[in-house]
Amino acid sequence: MAGTIKIGCTLPHGLVAEVEGVKVVFAGANQNCTEFRPLLGDYGITDVDVDFWNKWKKENINSRWIQNNIIYEAKDEKSIKDKGADLSTIDTGFKPLDPNSNGVESDLGE
């Protein structure tokens, strides 16, 4: 066993990755959401076996996920958080809309 690596995933729902019949769930940005803690960050973090990651990455190297850093790797917790903060502006196509910037008007008590 070669150890583990930290994987960041900016998709809100995460992603199920599969290699040779083994499935790993990459936690997404909304992984730990509850009614009282809506969004914890712009990425989820998952510890993944290095061999699994290397095989999955090789199979998906040309995917949008890898090419656009939607799913990325880092050596430790600090590195993954730093990279996650840098990548927070990536458009995954799943980010919530800001009603203030889209002309939405409220009719609640106004």
pLDDT, tens only, 52-102: 999 999 999 999 889 988 898 988 877 877 776 666 566 666 666 666 666
The structure's pTM equals: 0.71
Secondary element (H or E) of residue 21? none
Rounded alpha-carbon distances, angstroms, from residue 70 to 21, 29, 66, 79: 23, 11, 6, 16
Question: What total of structural domains would you count in the chain?
Answer: 1
* Separation between Cα atoms, residue 57 and residue 40, nearest integer Å: 26
> Does 8 map to a domain?
yes
Q: How confident is the model at residue 54, as a pLDDT?
A: 96
- Does some domain include residue 91? yes
The answer to whether position 47 is within a domain reads yes
| Residues spanned by the domain of 22 | 4-101
109 domain residue, yes or no: no
Could you say which DSSP state residue 37 is in? Answer: S
Answer whether residue 107 is part of any domain.
Answer: no
**Residue 110: inside a domain, yes or no?**
no
Q: Tens digits of per-residue pLDDT, 14-58? A: 899 999 999 999 988 777 555 544 444 578 889 999 999 999 999
Q: Is residue 54 part of a domain?
A: yes
Contact 44, 27 (CB under 8 A): yes
| Residue 62 falls inside a structural domain | yes
Name the percent of the chain lying above pLDDT 70: 65
Which residues are bridge partners to 24 per DSSP?
Answer: 17
- pLDDT of the residue at 86: 64
